[in-house]
């Protein structure tokens, strides 16, 4: 392409500081270096983790940055040493890398990667190395991706090549939220046929967890949320029972125990709230109940009574649904295109990059499941 090897000037939504509105700026995107790929971003979802960094994490060292990590696009150019990608390939940027060489990548027990940005910089949620600049200042690439930009540069170990006919404005959701919730159920929890499950929080991640429980053969799926307007949407993904914790004068864990003869087999916390994490654990049946932490937070400690675990329950965490990213995302795209998993049903709004602050507000106030930003044609 004519832009290969040159600095590209393009639009991006820059977060200059915590809690402030994002600002549409002209940024410079440097050419890809050794092992890197420059991607034209076509579409991106707005995920709660973007909001977490902007409003909850509040670590000023993580700014200025370009947020966004749930995108899909087309390869514009590749740097030296890149052989598996070429200009024109459809791809999904991945916030979780898979180098294929470290001890974690070589182990079937985990999807972590020692070369991921989070290995050293989880507190600021960005690697200090960046290919983005604005007004003469380096702009951090949030979670190694930065999809609220028309172009971005990413290491090839954090990019998945997908089918040429994949609709980018839908499969972009597989780069975070949907894969995270779905995989937490089918991989991390290991939901079994005929089991009883409870999903706490019915945002996109929680609804994807409901879908995972359904596809794994659960016989009963409790959808738990204080916003009852989300119950109809949960029904679409397979939920069978619906509970609003505020509607009871006792802990919802006790309500679930009474309704299930002692508790559910599997529970998934998809909020990122430490109190809800404890409730989800306490909602599991003793002896074999499994509770999975899925919601992202790193600002508070969590606790539980030891008897909860001594009695035979298991408490687990899940990152990106346990999927090894580069291997799994292309397969998930195929699963969507064959009808095995849903994506369209998560999308409630579509907006332009210039409307990013409206999209952030919709997510912040719980008025949308997923908003897709059309970044470029």
* Dihedral angle over CA of 138, 144, 147, 148, nearest 10: -40
**What phi, psi does 69 have (nearest 5°)?**
-150, 10
How much of the chain exceeds pLDDT 70, in percent? 99
Of 24-33, 57-66, 163-172, where does mean pLDDT reach its minimum? 57-66
Closest CA relative to residue 149, chosen from 132, 135, 137: 132
Is the per-residue pLDDT at 58 higher than 80? no
The predicted-structure confidence for 132-153, as pLDDT tens digits, reads as follows 999 999 999 999 999 999 999 9
For the chain, report the end-to-end CA distance as a whole number of angstroms: 16
Rg of the chain (C-alpha set)? 20
> pLDDT class for 51, splitting at 50, 70, 90?
confident
> Residues 308-319: what's their mean pLDDT?
96
Q: Are 126 and 145 spatial neighbours (Cβ–Cβ below 8 Å)?
A: no
Neighbours of 130 (CB within 10 A): 20
Is the per-residue pLDDT at 1 higher than 70? no
Number of H helices, E strands in the chain: 11, 18
**What phi, psi does 201 have (nearest 5°)?**
100, 120
- Domains in the chain (CATH in brackets) are 179-321 (3.40.50.720), 346-376 (no CATH)
On average, the pLDDT of the chain sits at: 95
Q: How far apart are CA 116 and CA 156, in angstroms?
A: 12
Question: What is the full DSSP assignment across 179-200?
Answer: HHHHHIIIIII---TT-EEEEE
Q: How far apart are CA 128 and CA 124, in angstroms?
A: 9
The predicted-structure confidence for 104-113, as pLDDT tens digits, reads as follows 999 999 999 9
> pLDDT class for 127, splitting at 50, 70, 90?
confident
How do beta strands 241-243 and 220-224 pair?
A: parallel
Is the whole-model pTM more than 0.85? yes
Is 81 strand, coil or helix? coil
Closest CA relative to residue 50, chosen from 330, 364, 292: 364
Place of tokens 């999927």: 323
The CB-based long-range contact list for 242-250 (8 Å cut-off, 24+ gap) reads: 245/279
Sign of CA dihedral 127, 128, 129, 135: positive
Tokens (6 digits) for 367:
């008025």
> Residues 27-41: what's their mean pLDDT?
97
> Residues 295-321: what's their mean pLDDT?
91
Q: How far apart are CA 285 and CA 287, in angstroms?
A: 7
pLDDT at 374: 96
* Dihedral angle over CA of 167, 169, 172, 177, nearest 10: -120
Tokens (6 digits) for 96:
């979780």
């Amino acid at each position: 392409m004519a832009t290969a090897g040159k600095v590209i000037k393009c639009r991006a939504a820059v977060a200059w500081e915590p809690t402030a509105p994002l600002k549409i700026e002209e940024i410079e995107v440097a050419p890809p270096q050794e092992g890197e790929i420059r991607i034209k971003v076509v579409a991106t979802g707005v995920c709660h983790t973007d909001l977490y960094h902007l409003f909850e994490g509040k670590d000023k060292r993580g700014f200025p940055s370009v947020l966004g990590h749930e995108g899909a696009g087309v390869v514009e150019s590749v740097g030296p040493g890149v052989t598996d990608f070429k200009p024109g390939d459809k791809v999904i940027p991945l916030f979780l890398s898979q180098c294929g060489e470290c001890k974690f990548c070589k182990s079937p027990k985990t999807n972590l990667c020692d070369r991921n940005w989070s290995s050293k910089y989880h507190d600021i949620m960005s690697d200090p190395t960046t290919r983005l600049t604005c007004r003469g200042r380096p702009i951090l690439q949030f979670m190694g991706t930065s999809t609220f930009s028309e172009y971005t540069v990413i290491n090839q170990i954090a990019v998945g090549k997908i089918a040429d006919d994949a609709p980018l404005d839908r499969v972009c959701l597989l780069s975070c939220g949907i894969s995270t919730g779905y995989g937490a159920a089918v991989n991390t929890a290991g939901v079994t046929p005929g089991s009883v499950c409870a999903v706490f929080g019915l945002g996109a991640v929680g609804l994807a967890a409901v879908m995972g429980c359904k596809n794994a053969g659960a016989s009963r799926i409790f959808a738990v949320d204080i916003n009852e307007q989300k119950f109809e949407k949960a029904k679409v993904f397979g939920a069978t029972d619906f509970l609003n914790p505020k509607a009871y004068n006792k802990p919802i864990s006790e309500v679930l125990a009474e309704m299930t003869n002692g508790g559910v087999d599997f529970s998934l916390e998809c909020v990122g709230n430490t109190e809800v994490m404890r409730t989800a654990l306490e909602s599991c049946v003793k002896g074999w109940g499994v509770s999975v932490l899925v919601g992202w937070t790193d600002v508070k400690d969590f606790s539980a009574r030891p008897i909860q675990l001594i009695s035979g329950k298991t408490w687990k965490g899940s990152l990106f649904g346990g999927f090894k990213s580069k291997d799994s995302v292309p397969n998930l795209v195929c699963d969507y295109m064959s009808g095995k998993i849903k994506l369209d049903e998560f999308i409630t709004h579509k907006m332009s990059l210039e409307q990013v602050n409206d999209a952030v507000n919709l997510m912040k106030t719980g008025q949308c499941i997923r908003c897709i930003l059309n970044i470029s044609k």
